[in-house]
Amino acid sequence: MRASHILLEYRMKWPPSKQSHPRSREEAQLVIEGLLGRVLDGEAFSDLARTYSECPSSADGGDLGRFSFDQMAKAFSEVAFELEVGQVSPPVHTEFGVHLILRTE
Write 86-93 long-range contacts (CB < 8 A, 24+).
88/36, 88/39, 88/40, 88/45, 90/36, 91/29, 91/32, 91/33, 91/36, 93/25
Give the domain extent around 71: 2-103
Q: Is-contact 19 8, C-beta < 8 A?
A: no
Per-residue pLDDT tens for 34-76?
A: 999 999 999 999 999 999 999 999 999 999 999 999 999 999 9
- pLDDT for position 19: 60
Model pTM? 0.92
- pLDDT for position 16: 53
- pLDDT for position 91: 98
The enclosing domain of 48 has a CATH number of 3.10.50.40
How many domains, in total, are found in the chain? 1
